[in-house]
Structure 1
């Protein structure tokens, strides 16, 4: 008597999304979209600017004054107030802006990659690169000014602080790129006026200023520091975490397929 055998049919299995591989692909794509010679030239100028001031300081010898005062002033105004936010602005806005214009972003959101992970990978690329470059600028300027010595821990403190600031600024400007097509202009106005003039004029704005958050991170690591009026290091860390979380959430919502036409509008 013939036996009936049941054949089990299985649907083709689709592998799970590899978040690590996807992140690497997205970061390589982000570099391809941002690695233009003009952007690289702008970043190099920003990196070399504090080193140029240190070179002038070192060339004057004893006439230059206290190296601690010099480093504190240059790190606060040039690195924290100018170089770090502008590097983050260039890296945080360029990738999404270019992909919105040429339609690459529309292709990305049709894949199985979660939209929040697309934003996270872009943020990881911009934040790590900004943080590393800003820290290199701090260390380079410090080495030119005082050699291998680190008076009162100023160099190491600001190297950590600007890395933190690079991550926070990158999150802020990545979110801005997903909200408006004028992210570069708005970000530049924000850096020059809000972080520059207003945060130094009005005390309350210090609690909403990434530049002042960087100072709060650096001060406890400097000998004799940590007594200035403004946000604490704990406040700065929590505020940065909130900015990153909001960026990932809003970015994921903006990349939602039915809302694609509103991205960058």
Structure 2
């Protein structure tokens, strides 16, 4: 489906023009700063690489950035009422969702992939950095679909999203093995480990499962987001 450049531009301008965008900066800077500090001070790579990449990069930075951006591309317009103006235009709901999804995915991918690439280079090699960056970009696509849908389902998408990241992805994903098949964090680790195998990656989901589940989750979330937006009227409120 071709992207509606007008909707995409409006979305990007609204996203970068809000204070919310400033929330995207601390985590990437913190990730790079930790890696640089550890490298400069000569700390053994094995002592900090996995906690920084897995514990902070893929478990915190990527989903939180995706949450901020993914809930912002539609959620902010719902909150201030400007969504009504967009819905009155002769545009298909699928066209609106697709444009906003692409913007959310692109911004999240860049914001998360760049610091992870830098960290990967500092830890091991350029290939490892590229593996982390590529995995983050793929994860950004899946997370963006989830959180975009969430902004249409809840009046407090950021709060619900944080609970999802902390409880499902963080707590249950690490303690209950059966939940890992539904963990986007585990998918990203599988992608990174396949592109640039490393002892510092702890992937618990096979690559075929990661690929198939990523596609299924993304497609289902986007389809439901279109359905939800179609039922959205000027007087409606998200539940």
TM score, norm. by length of structure 1:
0.82
- Aligned-pair CA distance for 1:32: 2.8
Residue segments in structure 1 that go unaligned for 5+ positions in a row: 1-17
CA distance in 1 between counterparts of 2:107 and 2:10 reads 14
Three-state SS of the structure 2 residue aligned to 1:161 is helix
Aligned residues of 2:189 and 2:203 also touching (Cα < 8 A): no
Per the alignment, residue 102 of structure 2 pairs with 124
Per the alignment, residue 94 of structure 1 pairs with 72
- Aligned-pair CA distance for 1:46: 1.3
Give the stretch that moved more between structures: 108-117 or 201-210. Answer: 108-117
What whole-Å deviation, never above 9, does each CA across 1:18-41 have from its counterpart, x for those lacking one?
Answer: 944xx2211221123222453222
Per the alignment, residue 157 of structure 2 pairs with 183
**Count of residue pairs brought into register by the alignment:** 239
Alignment partner of 1:222 out of 196, 215, 224: 196
Three-state SS of the structure 1 residue aligned to 2:74 is helix
Per the alignment, residue 250 of structure 1 pairs with 224
CA distance in 2 between counterparts of 1:41 and 1:258 reads 30
Alignment partner of 1:104 out of 79, 82, 90: 82
- Aligned-pair CA distance for 1:165: 0.8
- Aligned-pair CA distance for 1:187: 0.3
1:4-19 → structure 2 map (5 Å cutoff):
19=2
Per the alignment, residue 187 of structure 2 pairs with 213
Alignment partner of 2:125 out of 150, 158, 171: 150
CA distance in 1 between counterparts of 2:37 and 2:223 reads 45
Per the alignment, residue 212 of structure 2 pairs with 238
C-alpha change, 1:90 and 1:258, in structure 2 (3 Å) is closer
CA distance in 1 between counterparts of 2:231 and 2:182 reads 32
Residue segments in structure 2 that go unaligned for 5+ positions in a row: none
Aligned residues of 1:115 and 1:252 also touching (Cα < 8 A): yes
CA distance in 2 between counterparts of 1:260 and 1:214 reads 38
What whole-Å deviation, never above 9, does each CA across 1:59-114 have from its counterpart, x for those lacking one?
Answer: 212xx113x66333311111100111111101111121221122221222222211
CA distance in 2 between counterparts of 1:51 and 1:57 reads 10
CA distance in 1 between counterparts of 2:198 and 2:14 reads 44
Work out which of the two has the higher radius of gyration on C-alpha atoms and give 1 or 2: 1
Alignment partner of 1:200 out of 174, 185, 206: 174
| RMSD value, Cα | 2.4
Alignment partner of 1:76 out of 54, 58, 75: 54
CA distance in 2 between counterparts of 1:136 and 1:79 reads 11
